[in-house]
A and B are shown apart, each in its own frame.
Chain A
Amino acid sequence: MTPLDQVILFVVDLLALLAVYLIINIGLNIQEGITGIPNFGIVLAVAGGAYITGGLSTRLAVSLLRVQTNLDPIFNNIAVLHLVNPILRSQPPTAIAMLVLFLIIGSLAGALMGLISSAPAVRLREDYLAITLLAFGEILNVIGIGYKPLIGGPIGVNLPDIFGWAGQYRFYVGTFVLLLVAAAIFAYAGYLIKTPFGRTLKAIRDSEIVARSLGKDITRYRTTSILLGSLLCGTAGSLWVLYSGAVTPTYARFDWTFLPWLMILLGGIGSNRGALVGTVVFVALNKLIVYYKYAFVGILPFDIVWLNYLLLGIITILILIYRPEGIVREKVTAPKLNLSAANKEIQSS
């Protein structure tokens, strides 16, 4: 590989990670930023999307493509994929249709996880909800490791190569699809915040009592918000495993709960643009840190991964103390009132 290829691959990988985190952060921002639901367990929805996609994709591909085999899609994963992948490679439209199907399944799995984990506490105060969601966070890893038919136990499984038809440009096409989905979700979230639904969520966040006095069903809106946010996290988890082509039951709180929180804090909680800015700044900085910290390998008597924990923890605390509103302040939006029209209406009635 030439140095130029390396740089391009570095950027492509960076953009893929950026897209996945952007989707998760938008999902988290809908919950925490817009509705005020402190979801400390978004790792559950991400893992839900990832594991269900990982577990079902090969099985579905075998049955939908009518591959004749007696091999088990999970336990003889590699052998089955040898039969599935050539078909997907030769039929790009089928592969794309399957990608859409897997994404829908992964998203629904994420939404379901959010619904299940929030159900016991959604009627209670926010601190109970926070504790419950955090407690549920890593439960799927226990199931993923223990129940082998899901994703093959601790070693994990590979997925059908959904972008295989692009040949050597596989990762470019994959990243492009990820960015496309992320951009669509970003636009949708920006629109959602301005709709009456989005404004109701904000009203609930700012004052539950006022929202209730206006006849809003708080529990239903909060549940919808968790459902929507978790659905997006599921989409992201699903996209990530389809892009990377493999899944293992190792989705941890640090990567998929703490980092998204750090990013939306960095960008500015409550602002959709803030979620974008926070994600871009963080992913770029973090990749640079990862890139440069290998200079320290062999000098320090411990694994440099842990320095990341120290550094990112300290950065988060500094943001919390010195700039809790983040880079982009939330814009206060109000519907434009047409006063003269309203006056006329009053006078005529």
Chain B
Amino acid sequence: MQLVTLSTIVGWLTYSALLSLMALGVTLLYRTTKIANFAHASFVTVGAYVTYTLTITLSPNPYVGVPVAFVLVGVIALLLFYAVLEPMRRRNSSTVMLMIATLSFDIIMLGVMNIHADYLTNVYVLPSRNVLLSGSDFKFMGEPGLLFVALGTLALCSAALYLLLNFTTLGIALRASMENSSLSEAIGINVSMMLAVSWFIAGGLAGIAGALIPLWTLINPNVGTLLLASMFCVSIVGGLEQTYGAVLGGFLLGLVDVVGTSVLASLVGPWVAFYEPVIPLLVLSATLIIAPRGLAGLRVRRGK
């Protein structure tokens, strides 16, 4: 009996790449704004529906949705930042209050996405829930194109982020405001602008990941909500204080989740697969107990 098949590995790499893209944004926002962004769930959902809506109405190529989702979700993240978080920040709201604000924004977007789905169904008579686009994906070397696109996008996005953060003035200002916002403000960095940039990038990354989801699994207006626990798990496993930890965390959680479930299912029984949503929580708990600073934190020792 073969425990790990090629399709399991393809599933692992695809899922991990998508998770890493989502978690990169979570970690980036945690580092700049110091909050866990609960609205990341609906950012992903919006991306998914951008692809789905474009594919069934305008273009047969599902990948057209990716750049559109990047810009649209980036703008939505900016809206959340400028309309909600920035006024609250100016009134010195606490971290918890900012987090409730992102949760409220997520609830609003959940309503908007459900209205969008209802609208598609009721006005244009198109299916809009439990839909999948993997049929319109291309094949490359016998494997779904999504595998290569997801891995390629992740490589491209992390490389771009690395170049931006390390080799541009904007990136250096961004990192400075992550490390110490009041000191950065004192030397003339527009910290509010830097925060806005990080919200746009994080939202855009979530949008890209979301835009690829319809090619991978069934989408619903709550597809992002169901992935939220996994995103946070990846961010914490990778280390909330290390931007690129998210990539490492994504591949680790993906491994435990996809490969672990498939091995367990073939050993114990197929019913195990149903409890897959429990896995990220177990990984999260184990990480918090063993290494609260995440994998990346194991190497970095900070003197106190």
| Nearest chain B CB to A198 CB, angstrom units | 20
Docked CA distance A314–B84 (Å):
10
Let me know if A321 and B87 touch, CB within 8 A: yes
Say if the beta carbon of B236 comes within 8 Å of chain A: yes
| Nearest chain B CB to A327 CB, angstrom units | 16
Say if the beta carbon of B225 comes within 8 Å of chain A: yes
In the complex, which residues 180-213 of chain B have their Cβ closer than 8 Å to any Cβ of chain A? none
Contacting residues, chain A, for B88 (C-beta < 8 A): 320-321, 324
Quick one: closest A residue to B109, CB to CB? A313
Quick one: closest B residue to A124, CB to CB? B292
Known: A130-B36, A143-B275, A314-B108. A302 touches B114 (CB 8 A): yes
Let me know if B111 and A308 touch, CB within 8 A: yes
Docked CA distance A265–B228 (Å):
24
Say if the beta carbon of A101 comes within 8 Å of chain B: no
Q: B88-109, CB under 8 A of A: which get 1 and which 0?
A: 1001010111011101111110
Let me know if A120 and B105 touch, CB within 8 A: no
Let me know if A317 and B105 touch, CB within 8 A: yes
Quick one: closest A residue to B106, CB to CB? A313
| Nearest chain A CB to B142 CB, angstrom units | 34
In the complex, which residues 260-286 of chain A have their Cβ closer than 8 Å to any Cβ of chain B? 261-262, 265
Docked CA distance A236–B225 (Å):
25
Contacting residue for A135 out of B91, B111, B284, B289, CB 8 A: B284
- The majority secondary structure among interface residues of chain A is helix
| Nearest chain A CB to B86 CB, angstrom units | 10
Quick one: closest B residue to A262, CB to CB? B104
Let me know if B288 and A121 touch, CB within 8 A: yes
Say if the beta carbon of A126 comes within 8 Å of chain B: yes
Let me know if A316 and B104 touch, CB within 8 A: yes
Say if the beta carbon of B115 comes within 8 Å of chain A: yes
Let me know if B122 and A302 touch, CB within 8 A: yes
Q: List 19 A-B contacts (CB under 8 A).
A: A120-B285, A126-B96, A127-B34, A127-B99, A132-B288, A134-B38, A135-B280, A136-B229, A139-B277, A142-B278, A253-B225, A258-B104, A306-B114, A309-B108, A309-B111, A310-B108, A316-B100, A317-B105, A320-B97
- Contacts A254-B107, A307-B111 aside, 8 further interface pairs with beta carbons under 8 A come to A119-B285, A127-B95, A139-B278, A146-B275, A301-B118, A313-B104, A313-B107, A320-B93
Chain B contacts to A: CB under 8 angstroms: 30, 34-36, 38, 84, 87-88, 91, 93, 95-97, 99-101, 103-108, 110-112, 114-115, 118-119, 122-123, 225, 228-229, 232-233, 236, 271, 274-275, 277-278, 280-281, 284-286, 288-289, 292
